[in-house]
Chain A
Amino acid sequence: MAKTNADVLQGTLDLLILKTLSRGPEHGYGIAVHIQQVSNEVLRVEEGSLYPALHRIEQEGWIRSEWGLSDNNRRAKFYEITAAGKRQLAAEEKRWEALTAGVASVLRFA
């Protein structure tokens, strides 16, 4: 699969996943769709990086998963953010804001 510029920046995928899950439990497909929709189709989450990321984050203890039933009554794995995940999300958001603020000021004054 060819990479496109719309690929989510490395390292921010965690942030996007955690943010999405802070709304409530969601399955992998739902996460991908949500990110795509909310970003007005700018950010497209590649399936190839989504699932490994989910597993990695789960092992960090930031999210946990559980098998449940999807809206059309199919068995699906739902992810849910944990307390540690919420803390991590807060930290990542702060970092992201600092970074974007920094980039913004450079763009303004350079």
Chain B
Amino acid sequence: MRWLNRLWSTLRPRRLDRDLDDELKFHIERRAADLIAQGMRPAEARREAARRFGNVTLEKERARDRSILVWLETLLQDLRYAARTLRRNPGFALTAILSLALGIGANAALFSVTDALLLKRLPVNDSSSLIRVRVYYPEFGDSTVTYSFFDLIRKNAHTITGATAMALGGPTIEEHDGPTPAHVEIVSGEYFDLLGITASRGRVFHNANEPIAVISDSFWRSHYAAGEAIGKSVKFGKTVFTIAGVADEHFRGAQVDWPADIWIPLEQAVPSGARRGPNWFWLEVMARLQPGATLPQTRAELDSLLHQHLEQLAGTRQFDHPQQRAAFFSKRVTVQPAATGISNLREHYIKPLLIVVGIAVIVLVIACVNLANLLLARATAREREIATRKAIGAGRIRLIRQLLTESALLTILGAIAAIFLARWLSAALLAFFPDASNALANLSFRVDPRMLAFMIAICLVTSLLAGLAPAIRVSGPPRSQASSGGRALIAVEIALCTILLIGSGWFVRTLRNLRTLDAGFVRDQVLLAFVGAPPGAKGPQATARFDELRDRVATIPGVRSASYSNYSIMTGGEGQTSDNISAEGHPPTATENLTAIELRISPGFFATLGTPLLAGRDFTDRDGASAPKVAIVNEAFAKHFFGTVNAVGKRFGEDGPKSTLDYEIVGVVKDTKYANLREQSRPIYYRPMHQVPSDGGMVIAIRTSSDPGPIASAVRDAVHQTDPRVTKITRISMLIDASLASERMVAQLSAAFGGLALLVACIGIYGILAYRVARRTREIGVRIALGASRAGVEWMIVRESLALLGIGIAAGIPVALGLSRYITSLLYGLTPADPWTLAGALLLLALVSSFAALLPARRASRIDPMSALRCD
């Protein structure tokens, strides 16, 4: 508190001045009054009083100098002293600053991402009343909505003051001289008014009546160099939009993952027929709660609107059995607060991100504990000096402050280094998420007021944490058992390391389990080329073009086989499903899930992907349009509907019990993962491409016999010789890597941080033992002189570290297991109590820390008894 007062008087010198003035004036008047009472004449008395006081202004200044300058001067003194001590021990300073820089830098980098995803509110009016509206589908979770449903909400809901819809436009916009990269956001006419965004120049749109566009301030600056932009035209799709205005400076749209450059009205950008498609779930909807309305009220109202909407849709549909009807009406509205904007990245990655935040916090705490330990060891070494200073009158407060100044100086130096490190760490972090690349404008590291506030807070906490233990230690009476505090800190460090290493063990093993599990297909040497539909070719013609393409690709040297399918595996689950499978001899039960994935493939698909055929045969070219309809199913399908793997010859249909059993099963293949590696195998049935010709794009799978890299460009050339466009060529292994982005991030970062923490802790162990050996030189010398063996002396020192190790581990394991319940959903193929993970972490910890202990132990055993006894 006193410290604050002092700061206060530094900042508010004028108030202090006035106080002093009043006080001194009072003194002089009282003195004068007393002198008058003694018989002096008033004027003379006042002069005498003032004379006795000397120069009032001078006094005032002296008094004030005491309060501010003395404080500043002591601070400078302390700083100089701290700097001098650090310069004298550059190794110590460097270790401390580096470990702090890593700890603080990691936290700053994570803060910048977490802040953007989780904390930062949209720069709009009253963001807290904004909600995000979605529809929950039991099959695939929360989803964006159709235009008709949005239209129903905005016209009929009373618990909201308004709603707006938005969709992502392309990554480019056409200008007169060609395409320009720009994030387009397609928004309904209410958008700007609902959010309360105005134009900094020109105007925004308030409805969707005319084809005008609004650009963001940053796009205006970067693309139009802050010059003339209003009135220029840009083309999106087939419509030309005229730029009418520039939006408020900090506004980049309501979707965090898609920092918008340009907004265009939805009803202008998408023609009426297209936008009303009943199966087109493409709109994010944001609404503003009516004052006084609660989330549950709004949800209930929107739910009843959704029911109305479904009733309308159901009017034209046939339901074969009540379950199907119930499933159709089981959709529900979900609403959630949207003050921080809409972000799917947040939903996907927040859990792994928070885990990494937790890890980074632990690393910082370890760095603090380590610094505390080093400062403590130094303070203990300076015991004699400190005792002397105390004896000649240095206040304890002053000594404590001096130690805190030292830790604060180190922290600030660490924080400066951390800013540079954080920029790099943040880029590395974002590189883990392939889908974050669009959001970089919002997510990448930036030193803004929020970041500075965070850094200052972290510096305060760090320097207090690191400086407090030594300070308390010094302020107490001198103790003979000097480093008991230091040993406790080492045990704390080891406990924290235990938690980190066990944690990273879990994540590394999870990643390994996912990477090595049998997914039912080979991961290497398979290229996937995503090829667009051939223009102008429909149905069988299109299929014929893809056959041609496949044959051409198959002749490329190095290609073992090629085939194609209408959807790709490992892209997160896009594809077609049938939710009403009927199978020969399998009457459905009331609650049964009759869903299966349908995939259309060309012959050779299984051979190309390396999926073993368990029974029957693969498709051939003879399974054509006029041949009997056949299908291949996977194990999961066969077991679910026929109770056996060998379902060859059995029949099934895809349109419920009333349908004919159209397909005869000719083969059964091994289960493969479809959407991602974590899923349980789902029933899949495959149909030959020639029996269900499709017009859309295809995915050509190519098995190569050597490194697929050089073959990719040959494939691209081959595709370009026919008409279709290649949108992407990739490898299965890369798709898998992308699907494992968060697992990789957590595993790699936790391993890296775990290793770092281990290193820092080892430095701590080494430091404290080396210091104790130095202090016990004489005692050890006596022991050796009296016949103690070198091995015995080594053991004596190592034993001490083993005790600390034991305490630290014993404290760390239960905490780690206690924390594990927050992360079990992220683990795969192991439980938190996995003995291999625990044993591995502990073994590593024991090995490395014993090594750190061995060096001082060696030194102890080499002590020459004669010189040891002479020393001191």
Q: Which residues of A contact B54 (CB under 8 A)?
A: 1, 47-48
Interface flag for A51 (CB, 8 Å)? yes
Q: Do A47 and B52 have beta carbons less than 8 Å apart?
A: yes
Bound form: Cα–Cα A72–B26 in Å: 11
Q: Which listed segment binds A: B59-67, B111-119, B236-244, B652-660?
A: B59-67
Complex Cα gap A48–B70 (Å):
18
Tell me if A55 and B26 are in contact (CB < 8 A). no
Scoring B residues 29 to 72 as 1 if CB is less than 8 Å from chain A, else 0, what string do you get?
11101100000000000000000111000010011001100100
User: Is B19 close to A, CB under 8 A?
Assistant: yes
Interface flag for B872 (CB, 8 Å): no
What residues on B are CB-neighbors of A28 within 8 Å? 23, 26-27
Q: Please determine whether A55 and B31 come into contact, CB atoms closer than 8 angstroms.
A: no
For the complex, what is the distance from the CA of A24 to the CA of B70, rounded to whole Å? Answer: 29
Closest to A28 in B: B27
Q: Which residues of chain A are within 8 angstroms of B22 by Cβ–Cβ distance? A: 75, 77
Q: How far is the CA of A91 from the CA of B63 in the complex (A)?
A: 26
Nearest residue in B to A44 (C-beta to C-beta)? B52
Contact B26 A77 (CB under 8 A): yes
A74 & B26 in contact (Cβ 8 Å cutoff): yes
Task: Determine the distance from Cα of A32 to Cα of B34 in the docked complex, in whole angstroms.
Answer: 13
Nearest-neighbour CB distance to chain A for B598, whole angstroms, equals 80
- The answer to whether B5 and A59 have CB atoms under 8 Å apart is yes
Q: Tell me if A87 counts as interface (CB < 8 A to partner B).
A: no
| B70 proximity list for chain A (CB < 8 A) | 56
Chain A, range 69-84, C-beta contacts under 8 Å to B: 70, 72, 74-77
Chain B residue contacts of A59, Cβ below 8 A: 2, 5-6, 66-67
Q: Tell yes or no: B24 within 8 A of A by CB.
A: yes
Contact A52 B2 (CB under 8 A): no
Mask, A17-37, CB within 8 Å of B = 1, is 000000000011100110000
- Pick from A33, A52, A60, A75: contact of B62, CB below 8 A: A52
How many chain-A residues does the 8 Å CB contact rule pick out? 21
| A61 in contact (CB, < 8 A) | yes
Give A93 Cβ to nearest chain B Cβ, in Å. 17
CB A46 to nearest CB in B, in angstroms, measures 8
| Interchain CA distance A3-B20 in the complex, whole Å | 24
User: Do B26 and A56 have beta carbons less than 8 Å apart?
Assistant: no
Q: Are A55 and B2 in contact (CB under 8 A)?
A: no
User: In the bound complex, what is the Cα–Cα distance between A36 and B403 (angstroms)?
Assistant: 42
How many B residues are at the interface, by size bracket?
20 to 34
Binary interface encoding of chain B residues 392-404 relative to chain A, with 1 for a CB under 8 A from any of its CBs, else 0:
0001000000000
State in angstroms the CA–CA spacing of A59 and B66 once bound together: 9
CA of A47 to CA of B30, assembled, Å: 13
Q: Which B residues touch A75, using CB under 8 A?
A: 22, 26
A76 x B6 contact (CB < 8 A): no
Instruction: State which of A1, A52, A56, A74 has its C-beta within 8 Å of the C-beta of B29.
Output: A74
By beta carbon, the residue of chain A nearest B51 is: A1
How far, in whole Å, are A47 and B62 apart by their CA atoms in the complex? 12
Taking a contact as CB atoms under 8 Å apart, the answer to whether B29 and A48 are in contact is: no
* B56 to chain A: closest residue by CB: A47
Assess the A56–B19 pair: CB atoms within 8 A. Answer: no
CA–CA, A61 to B5, complex, Å?
A: 11
Partner of A70, one of B2, B24, B26, B31: B26
By the criterion CB–CB under 8 Å, are B6 and A55 in contact?
A: no
In the bound complex, what is the Cα–Cα distance between A59 and B69 (angstroms)? 13
List, in ascending order, chain A residues with CB within 8 A of B67's CB.
55, 59
CB of B52 within 8 A of CB of A55, answer no
Which A residues lie within 8 Å of B63 (CB)?
51-52, 55
In the bound complex, what is the Cα–Cα distance between A14 and B595 (angstroms)?
A: 89
A72 to chain B: which residues have CB within 8 Å?
33
B23–chain A nearest beta-carbon distance, Å? 5
Query: B23–A76 contact, CB under 8 A?
Result: yes
Q: Decide: B24 and A76 in contact? CB cutoff 8 A.
A: no
B59 and A55 contact, CB distance less than 8 A:
no
Q: Are A29's CB and B59's CB within 8 A?
A: no
Q: Which residues of A contact B23 (CB under 8 A)?
A: 27-28, 51, 76-77
How far apart are B475's CB and chain A's nearest CB, in angstroms?
14
Q: What separation, in Å, do the CA atoms of A1 and B51 have in the docked complex?
A: 9
A76 to B59, CA, bound (A): 18
Contacts of B2 in A (CB 8 A): 59-61
B26 contacts A27, C-beta separation under 8 Å: yes
Min CB distance, A3 to chain B, in Å?
12
Contact with B along A68-110 (1 / 0, CB 8 A): 0010101111000000000000000000000000000000000
Q: How far is the CB of B694 from chain A (nearest CB, A)?
A: 84
A74's closest neighbor in chain B, by CB? Answer: B26
Assess the A77–B53 pair: CB atoms within 8 A.
Answer: no
Distance (whole angstroms) from the CB of B356 to the closest CB of chain A: 44
Chain B contacts with A in 271-320, Cβ cutoff 8 A: none
Taking the closest CB of chain B, its distance from the CB of A21, in whole angstroms, is 16
**Cβ distance B195 to chain A, nearest Cβ, rounded Å:** 52
- CB of B26 within 8 A of CB of A47, answer no
Q: Are A29 and B53 in contact (CB under 8 A)?
A: no
Contacts A29-B26, A59-B2, A61-B2 given; does A77 touch B59 at CB 8 Å: no
Inter-chain contacts of B62 with A (CB < 8 A)? 48, 52
Take A59-B6, A75-B22 as given contacts and tell me if A48 and B59 are in contact as well, using a CB distance cutoff of 8 Å: yes
The digit string for B518-557, where 1 denotes a CB below 8 A from any CB of A, is 0000000000000000000000000000000000000000
Contact of A51 among B24, B33, B34 (CB under 8 A): B24
- Chain B residues, CB < 8 A from A27: 23, 26-27
Q: Determine whether the beta carbon of A29 is less than 8 Å from that of B30.
A: yes
Return the chain A residue nearest B33 by Cβ. Answer: A72
The verdict on A47 contacting B27 (CB below 8 Å), with A75-B22, A77-B19, A77-B22 known, is yes
Residues of chain B within 8 A (CB-CB) of A48 are: 53-54, 59, 62
Residue of A nearest to B395 (CB): A60
| B546 to A: closest C-beta gap in Å | 86
Residues of A within 8 A of B5 (CB): 59
With A and B bound together, what is the CA distance between A1 and B48 in angstroms? Answer: 13
Residue of A nearest to B55 (CB): A48
| Bound-state Cα–Cα, A32 to B62, Å | 18
**A76 engages B26 (CB within 8 Å):** yes
Instruction: Flag if A47 contacts B19 (CB, 8 Å).
Output: no
Task: With CB as the reference atom, state the residue of chain B lying closest to A1.
Answer: B54
Q: B27: which A residues are within 8 A, CB to CB?
A: 27-29, 32, 47, 51
Q: Which residues from B are CB-within-8-Å of A56?
A: 66, 70
CB-CB under 8 A from A33, the residues of chain B are: 34
Contacts of A32 in B (CB 8 A): 27
With both chains docked as a complex, state the minimum distance between the C-beta of B495 and any C-beta of chain A, in angstroms.
37
Q: Provide the bound-state CA to CA distance between A36 and B589, in Å.
A: 105
Q: How far is the CA of A47 from the CA of B6 in the complex (A)?
A: 23
- Determine the distance from Cα of A76 to Cα of B27 in the docked complex, in whole angstroms: 9
- How far does the Cβ of B15 sit from chain A's closest Cβ, in whole Å? 12
| Closest Cβ–Cβ distance, residue B409 to chain A (whole Å) | 23
| B393 nearest in chain A by CB position | A11
A48 to B27, CA, bound (A): 12
Residue of B nearest to A84 (CB): B2
> What CA separation (Å) do A27 and B26 show in the bound complex?
9
B827 to chain A, nearest CB (A): 54
Q: Looking across the interface, which residue of chain A has its beta carbon closest to that of B49? A: A47
Q: Which residue of B lies closest to A71 (CB)?
A: B30
Shortest C-beta distance, B2 to chain A (Å), equals 5
The 3 closest A-B pairs by CB, nearest first: A29-B30, A47-B53, A29-B27
Q: Chain B residues in contact with chain A, CB under 8 A? A: 2, 5-6, 19-20, 22-24, 26-27, 29-31, 33-34, 52-54, 59, 62-63, 66-67, 70, 395
Known contacts A29-B26, A52-B63; 14 additional CB pairs below 8 A are: A1-B52, A28-B23, A28-B26, A28-B27, A32-B27, A48-B62, A55-B67, A56-B66, A59-B5, A59-B66, A59-B67, A70-B30, A74-B26, A75-B22
What is A's interface to B at a CB cutoff of 8 Å?
Answer: 1, 27-29, 32-33, 47-48, 51-52, 55-56, 59-61, 70, 72, 74-77
A-B contact pairs, 19 of them (CB 8 A): A27-B23, A27-B26, A28-B27, A29-B27, A29-B30, A33-B34, A47-B52, A48-B62, A51-B24, A51-B27, A51-B59, A51-B63, A52-B66, A55-B67, A60-B2, A75-B22, A76-B23, A77-B22, A77-B23
